[in-house]
Every structure is written in structure tokens, then in C-alpha cells.
Structure 1
């Protein structure tokens, strides 16, 4: 899928309400405006095409805590490129895509006792599955931006896992994105979510390393 990183960044800023991305020679800078994530530098290259020299250069120029790097390469590789003050998430993420043709069909059966609510605001469609007692069971959201849609913040509460709720959320979101005109979906998945996404036709495009600058002298 051409332009997959740009598609992910474009949809992610809509989903999270972040500032429009700024184009860089190596990728994108996004201002998020949160204490734990002030901004993020997202490299556009994937896998073996990631340039170690550029990652080192950008990382060495970071001086403020709360700045993140998103590099589409394995954490074990990227860790060796970063100097003092960087925390690297030991778990790899995965940049994943799926064609949405035909996704406007059924969204699966919501298990008995659960309540599903779907709503859209600000260009983002959200799905909530509430448990029989009213607590959060599962959720997710999608931000269609033309031909692509980003899927974001997909989660199932621990007490409600292995009941098919994640599949209901994803199928509902995929249908909504397809109905909005998106032809492909993109997301950044975790190891825990990868199996669910692959069961729904998603494919891994590249590993993803997330690294946060926590300050010199902090490890």
C-alpha cells in the first residue's frame, strides 16, 4: 500500500485531535499537546529502508521530555541507535493494513446482555460495547480521511476478553469506514491485538518501535 505511513499519520491526528502533521525530509512531526506526549516524530521508511543515520540525527536533536519517536523497525534494532535518555518500548508494534471492499456487510452478533452504541463526531466514528452492568466491555474508533481510514484505540476490558467483542467492534468500524468511502484501513497494532486483526484480514506491513525521551541522566 503506497503512502501507508502518511495515511496513518493523517488519520491518527484526526482520531486524537492532534495538530496537523508537519512534513519533514524523513517523515512527519505531529504536535500532540499532552504532558506524556508533547509531540512525535514519525519516520516514513519501512523495515530495511529505515535509515539509521537519520534516526540517530533526529533522536540526538531531541532535548525535551515527552517527545516520542515512531520508527518502523524492530525495537531490538532501534534501541541500539538511541543515546542516553531514551526509553524504548520492549514490545514491538505492527503497522497493519486491510482492504475494505465488501466491509459494509454484517458486523457480527453482539453477545446477549451487551449493549452496542455507535456514534460519529468530528470526523471520528466510535463504537462502545457496554457490559450487562453498564461498565465498559470494549471500544474502538475510526477516522476515515478519503481513501483510507485509521483504526485507533481498540481495546477490550480484561474481564470481557475471548467473547468475540473485539471482532464486533472491528467489523462495525470497518463497515462504517467503508460506508464513508474508505477503500483501505490502517492501524498500529500491539502483539495482543495482532491475532484479532489478522483473523479479520489485516496484514503486517512493518514492525513499529515506540521510543520516548525521558531526559538525560534517567537511563
Structure 2
């Protein structure tokens, strides 16, 4: 079981494996990841809202992101005008095996990869229907990029992907970062919210 803000560290270490970006660097207030992509040059994962104001003043470069654990109003209060807040996300955890899910008729499931990273794809007639990734870091399965194509939603494919990923990972503790829409879906499957996460960015071209 992962507890407290160990969840943030577990999640970020799995996320960098899933996204094939450089290893996270521990900072006094959280973590830094040098992502190196257009519009997403670097991200800071902050443990609590008091860290926001000093970071917002000192790292407000285009392409920089802050993602902060804590209440939205407290995070927003620390931002300077360069920053654009994004919709709240949710750091969530699950303990135990991911429940099994039946594959609907007409769909095929493929599992690829090996420790520490696996992917699952679901197809219908050779066309993509759903997919996702999981990376194991420090004994925690970090689920990432779980997507069902619009034409194939409401058929339980997300559950199929989650179960197959969990089986591949083979560890009892799991974490993910959910959008507002995903938060409700994962909550219905038994996932628990560990913390709100409030993203903010300085867009490229802002200076």
C-alpha cells in the first residue's frame, strides 16, 4: 500500500517510464521532470500549495508546467499573471487486483511489453478501439493514457484495458492521474482520490 505523499513520488516515477522521458529529479518541494517537448519543456510536481508562489515567481518560462497537490483555490492564490490554470485533475490509488472484465464480442485484445512497461490495445476488425499503458516503479503500477475511441465507448473496454494492464504489472498497489471525467469513472470502479492536482502552464509564445 502507498500512503501519504509517497503517492506523488510513485506516480511521477512511473509516469516518466511510461512517457520515455528523463528520470524525475527530487526537489525540496516535490519533483522536476525535464520533458523536453514543444509546449511542455519542463514540469514541476509540487507536494502542497505553499510551494506554488515561490515557484511561480522563479520558473515562469514558456513551456513550463506546475502540477500541485492541494485545493484549487489555494493553488490559484499562489500563481502570478504569466500562468494559465488548467482543469483540476485527481491523483487516485487502488489496492488489490484490478477486477476482471469480459471482452465484448467482436473485439481482440493484445498485450505488449515487458517489465517495467506494458501496453494493451483493443481492436475491432483491425481498427483501434481502446488502449492504455502501465509502468511499474518502486512496486507501484502507474496507469497512463487509458483511452477509448468515441465510437466504442460504453462497452466496458476501459475496464478490459485496466484489467489486462493490472494483470501484466502483477503488483497490488496502483496509481493514476485522472481528468475530471475520468475521476468519476475510476471512482465507480473503486479507485480512491488521494489528492486534487491543479495544473498550470506558461504557454509558449507568452513572452
The reply to whether TM is greater than 0.5 is yes
Deviations 1:172-214 (A, max 9, x none): 1122222xxx221011001211232123221001111111112
Could you tell me how far 1:131 is from its partner in structure 2? 2.4
CA distance in 1, matches of 2:204, 2:168: 41
CA distance in 1, matches of 2:124, 2:79: 43
Between 1:194-203 and 1:26-35, the stretch displaced more is 194-203
Name the Cα RMSD after superposition.
1.9
Structure 1 gaps, min length 5:
none
Moved segments of 4+, more than 4 Å: 215-218
The answer for the alignment partner of 2:158 in structure 1 is: 166
Please state whether the residue corresponding to 1:59 is helix, strand or coil: helix
Q: 1:124 to 1:92 in 2, by over 3 A?
A: same
Asked if the contact 1:149–1:186 (Cα under 8 Å) also holds between the matched residues in 2, the reply is yes
Instruction: Tell me if 1:199 matches 2:192.
Output: no
Instruction: Tell me if 1:43 matches 2:46.
Output: yes
Instruction: Tell me if 1:4 matches 2:7.
Output: yes
1:125 to 113, 118, 124: 118
Q: For residues 172-211 of structure 1, what are the structure 2 equivalents within 5 Å?
A: 172-178=164-170, 182-211=171-200
Q: 1:144 to 1:122 in 2, by over 3 A?
A: closer
Please state whether the residue corresponding to 2:184 is helix, strand or coil: helix
Could you tell me how far 1:217 is from its partner in structure 2? 5.9
The answer for the alignment partner of 2:69 in structure 1 is: 72
The answer for the alignment partner of 1:94 in structure 2 is: 90
Q: For residues 108-147 of structure 1, what are the structure 2 equivalents within 5 Å?
A: 108-121=101-114, 123-132=116-125, 134-147=126-139
Q: 1:78 to 1:146 in 2, by over 3 A?
A: closer
CA distance in 1, matches of 2:127, 2:74: 40
